[in-house]
Amino acid sequence: MPDVRETPLLVIGGGPGGYPAALHAADHGLKVTLVDEGAKLGGVCLNRGCIPSKALLHTAKIIREAHEMANYGVSFSDPQIDLAKLRAFVQEKVVSKLTSGIGQLTKGRGVDVVKGRAVFTSPNTVEVTGEQPQTIRFQNCIIATGSLPVVPKPWQIGDERVMDSTAALLLPDIPKKLLVIGGGYIGLELGSVYAALGSKVTVVEALERILFMADKDLVDPLEKRLRTEFEAIYTSTKVMGLEATAEGIAVKLEGKDVPASLTFDRVLVSVGRRPNSAGIGLDKAGVNANEKGYIPIDKQRRTNVPHIYAIGDVGEEPALAHKATAEARVAVEVILGEPAEWNPRAIPAVIFTDPEIAWAGITQQEADKQNIPYEALTFPWAASGRAVSIARTEGRTKMLVDPESKRVLGVGIVGAGAGEMIAEGVLAIEMGAIARDVLESIHPHPTLSETVMESAELAYGAATHMAKPRKR
């Protein structure tokens, strides 16, 4: 091994920002070195985020659906849960399969993968410690070091019954009573998993409502369902302290109509994530980070040091895997000398609860806040043949259009499979489609996707399958 490895492009971090950047650059003939300190490539998303959580949510969905079929004449006995086997499915059949796939992709593209932690020692060098220690000198660098879960200091009581999302995904056991602190998407997704496995789940959210970033009318059907599946959802409620006792974790609460104290077998803290930018020697490279730890970047994803780029969770919000991957393409194309820039009209967001919530483009609450004129066209799934046939009529599809031009500004969906459906909304917004473009694109019948077409139809007076309001 040379004392100093020279590389035209160094990528730090092998998550959904870093590894696609390395692959894309290699595909275009750049010699790339990818450094990651994790045991396996794939970052948070593949190892302890998107992928394991979705494998567990799939399991939870099947448990719930099997149970619900009793209402329609087919009864199954209660599920027998073999936790060791379920864990093995998630970790070996899903996570390991995908992470080793990334290993093969990087190998196939000739990317040099270095295992270890990279810390900048100058604007053109990093020192790698760990499994493969070395010095790397680079011409360009992409920082894709991601983010870490936040567990506020007072809740760090040194008891393994207080978990972050990483620990919860490892399914240590099925607690009888689980408290989820934080009514964001990670807390609700994992809460749904544990509820389906048999835990009595309580959610505490400091804000007035769960999932504050999503439109309320989209959250309502989910909240209604979660209130039947969870023990309790306390909003406008603060956790004032955690204490480890022999009986469990005693939790002090403060809020209206909330017990002052409750005890749980486990507590999941899911109150947010912070950019992983501390301790990587940014000062030695001359790269700025703001007070929250995010690395400010321009439209080319450049930091203040022109040959150093930042993408993914460490750069700017939203912290989503597909946003990191899309930024990777921009940064690499800029490095290749192409006139690329980050300018998406729609970054989709999906909450993989049941029902799912998904949106793209502007939300109604954002449009209100920014005084953007819009027409909101909502198609209730009770009028969808497909939704009726799968007994999922609680959903709704909402399209926001410009009142004059009818250009699609945003799409929001709540309902079974909303996450798969939102891609049509993204395409419509990116292509600058008007509602008629969506309406005149023939959608297959009977599918839930027809609800997107019918919401577009509302821009021109009425939707075929929706009762027209009676004229007085």
- Residue 43 backbone zone (phi > 0: left; psi -120 to 50: alpha; other: beta): left
Q: Least CB distance from residue 215 to ligand FAD, whole Å?
A: 19
Least Cα distance to 357 among 318, 411, 320 occurs for 411
Of the two residues 18 and 380, which places its CB atom closer to ligand FAD in the complex?
18
DSSP string spanning 367-421? HHHTT---EEEEEEGGG-HHHHHTT-TT-EEEEEE-TTT-BEEEEEEEETTHHHH
- Residue 57 backbone zone (phi > 0: left; psi -120 to 50: alpha; other: beta): alpha
Choose the catalytic residue: 24, 307, 322, 445: 445
Residues that bind ligand FAD (CB under 6 A): 12-18, 35-38, 43-45, 49-50, 53, 117-118, 144-147, 165, 186, 276, 280, 312-314, 319-322, 324, 352
Of the two residues 14 and 415, which places its CB atom closer to ligand FAD in the complex?
14
In contact, 311 and 397? CB cutoff 8 Å: no
Q: Least CB distance from residue 53 to ligand FAD, whole Å?
A: 4
Least Cα distance to 161 among 55, 251, 52 occurs for 251
Of the two residues 167 and 232, which places its CB atom closer to ligand FAD in the complex?
167
Of the two residues 36 and 205, which places its CB atom closer to ligand FAD in the complex?
36
In contact, 454 and 466? CB cutoff 8 Å: yes
Q: Least CB distance from residue 296 to ligand FAD, whole Å?
A: 16
Q: Backbone phi, then psi, for 201, in 5-degree steps?
A: -105, 130
Is 445 catalytic? The answer is yes
Q: Alpha carbon 374 to chain centroid distance?
A: 27
Q: Name the residue whose CB lies closest to ligand FAD.
A: 146
Q: Alpha carbon 132 to chain centroid distance?
A: 31
Q: Least CB distance from residue 442 to ligand FAD, whole Å?
A: 30
CA distance 222 to 388: 17
CA distance 108 to 241: 51
Q: Cis peptide leading into 152, omega within 30 of 0? A: no
Of the two residues 55 and 280, which places its CB atom closer to ligand FAD in the complex?
280
Q: Least CB distance from residue 308 to ligand FAD, whole Å?
A: 14
Q: Backbone phi, then psi, for 293, in 5-degree steps?
A: 100, -5
Q: Least CB distance from residue 406 to ligand FAD, whole Å?
A: 30
Of the two residues 215 and 316, which places its CB atom closer to ligand FAD in the complex?
316
CA distance 46 to 97: 10
Q: Least CB distance from residue 143 to ligand FAD, whole Å?
A: 9
DSSP 29: T
* Paired sense of beta strands 356-361 and 375-380, if any: unpaired
Of the two residues 359 and 379, which places its CB atom closer to ligand FAD in the complex?
359
Question: Catalytic residue numbers?
Answer: 445
